[in-house]
Structure 1
């Protein structure tokens, strides 16, 4: 008998929640941050290093993997977990967002989307049914239903039409997903910044019934204030006994603000992308390692951090290898950023468990407001 997918809430503090998502491949402690492994790799990181930062789950990308190396090839080679040497849970997105943002010459119909690959111009079709098939071939533990995500700002009519289409696609995704014990399917709420459209979307998803629910269509250019104003009501429109996932978020203060408003899961390319461009997240805010002030600095990025970059290397060294375009630069800075993001998640889980989230949050913002340590 395959272990079922389940979610249990352990504690709440205000709207903030901590709990555990149980899957056959292991438990996911919530609130959870999922590093993004777009093309079956978290860039510049070994899978065991990602696990060492505290990650319980990774995100894989349907659009990128269907184009290269193809879902069929990954399936023949034993599935995505084996292919990329990651034995913990994997969530795959549906490909919808990337089709909208990356693909050339896309055509949207009721059936789905046809598009040309941004890699070689080859023509592809993505429908709810095909998205479910690809994600089944990949073997991911959490599957996202196929949706359309309009870029904001957009007018209300466009947002409503898009949301209605996404809800019809959600029903088709559910149908095509079928019964897969041990695997979960998440629905995606749409509706832009409109509370009534979000409520309508949430009700449509509840009627279909999913294993978890995502708040989609945010972090697409609307700004933090608008995003938080939606998060003030959107999670409350979703079932309390299922995980709530905010897609594509974000910066440390976005993550803390989302958890405060009832979100359980997030993902973002930011820690790894920033690591490769010399942007470093610390408890005292963001620093740029390419700045000359670090050139002669023997101190670590963050004295309290236990990651390899902070334990073993100076700012001066990290500045040098970044300037010299050495590969180790992206490796160490990405490791540090991912470690710090997971440290935030652990801090929030611990604080919620003892009813101290407010104090933890105040301390988080106070430390960040200090800014980086003074130059030598």
Structure 2
């Protein structure tokens, strides 16, 4: 399923190939997120044209709408959304944090550091309750109650039919106590064992379906001993690969991912969950991660925040009103080849839907092509030069335009 092609000297960074029933993924690779079986505002065909090798969707959201059984009947996630390439689905574990505690991932990292065993974001209602058997969710759509267990998550992900699926885990916040983190890790390990058992049972039951690879998820917050133990405990269970999860402070990203990859086998792929900002990609790759997913490129594009070689900027500011150049003159995306900053400024200011489409095309292409460039540089030995050149320019942000 996975072959290491190039191992960088004096670094954990590497290139490789993940083989799936729906195609291969050359790694390192950025996997764009289509939470509800769509990258918002962009056609699947467009995602293929801009170079995406695979897409990731969310099991929890697809379970609520339109239902995993319907997608199974349609022939699986790829057939349902007209995406011919490899697909990933996450397990629903993130919703334990985002719905259970009311935090988004960055909020959890930025919030005041008050540790507790029962963390809840200010002004939020708890929509999920965790126990040793699983999680009871209250739907954010209609308030109905649902139950997720490792077995339920496996059944849903088998019905969705993604090539790579993840074991059900609990994602904690950085405000939880050390004691709670230890209890959560024990719970996640027990759930991982149950996922392996159920995955094998369902694979045999659905033997006519394409084989799905199951990844275990390493948690442990910011504690080195917990991270290393989590990885060590997962390895003997026979997973096809591993995800690295959790709310990770940016300054600790490299250290935490390195702790984990040190404990994982070299012949299994490693996926870093929820990381996709340009500077973070270099850190993750150097720590030995092979694939990454993040909703940010599409999410921030919808707010008019766009990536360029010299940093990000907001297209709504007045300085762009009469700028007839592209977003980034070095970008080869369709948006940069056909539309000006002035036109996009107009679209964003007037709230036209196509603004999100054109902005997302650019941002997704920017990240995908950056990782493609990194992968090529690892193969030809020019990685250090590529990194130095990119970061020197990206961090040299121009003065903010006056509004």
TM-score by length of 2: 0.88
Alpha-carbon shift at residue 375 of structure 1 (Å): 7.3
Alignment of 1:295-314 (within 5 A): 295-314=321-340
Equivalent residue for 2:285, pick from 254, 259, 275: 259
- Alpha-carbon contact 2:270-2:291 (below 8 Å) kept: yes
1:46 correspondence with 2:43: yes
1:79 correspondence with 2:76: yes
- Alpha-carbon contact 1:12-1:355 (below 8 Å) kept: no
Alignment of 1:333-372 (within 5 A): 333-372=359-398
Counterpart-to-counterpart distance in 1, 2:400 and 2:219: 44
Q: Deviations over 1:108-128 (max 9, x none)?
A: 122111111000011100000
Alignment of 1:320-335 (within 5 A): 320-335=346-361
What SS does structure 1 have at the residue aligned with 2:366? helix
1:10 correspondence with 2:32: no
- Alpha-carbon contact 2:317-2:401 (below 8 Å) kept: no
Equivalent residue for 1:213, pick from 235, 239, 242: 242
Alpha-carbon shift at residue 80 of structure 1 (Å): 1.4
Residues 372 and 197 from structure 1, CA distance in 2 versus in 1: closer, same or farther, beyond 3 angstroms?
same
The aligned residue for residue 33 of structure 1 is: 30
What's the C-alpha RMSD, in Å, of the aligned pairs?
1.6
The aligned residue for residue 199 of structure 1 is: 228
Counterpart-to-counterpart distance in 2, 1:167 and 1:354: 39
Alpha-carbon shift at residue 351 of structure 1 (Å): 0.5
Name whichever of 224-233 and 147-156 sits farther off: 224-233
What SS does structure 1 have at the residue aligned with 2:348? helix
Q: Deviations over 1:202-233 (max 9, x none)?
A: 1111111110011111xx2x421122221232
The aligned residue for residue 150 of structure 2 is: 128
Q: Deviations over 1:65-94 (max 9, x none)?
A: 001111112112222111111111110000
Moved segments of 4+, more than 3 Å: 372-376
The aligned residue for residue 174 of structure 1 is: 196
What SS does structure 2 have at the residue aligned with 1:204? helix
1:165 correspondence with 2:187: yes
Residues 100 and 373 from structure 1, CA distance in 2 versus in 1: closer, same or farther, beyond 3 angstroms?
closer
What SS does structure 2 have at the residue aligned with 1:370? coil
What SS does structure 2 have at the residue aligned with 1:340? helix
Count, aligned residues: 368
Counterpart-to-counterpart distance in 2, 1:203 and 1:233: 11
Alpha-carbon shift at residue 239 of structure 1 (Å): 1.1
Counterpart-to-counterpart distance in 1, 2:173 and 2:181: 9
Alpha-carbon shift at residue 374 of structure 1 (Å): 9.6
Equivalent residue for 1:190, pick from 203, 219, 222: 219
Equivalent residue for 1:238, pick from 264, 273, 276: 264
Counterpart-to-counterpart distance in 1, 2:194 and 2:400: 56
Alpha-carbon shift at residue 373 of structure 1 (Å): 9.1
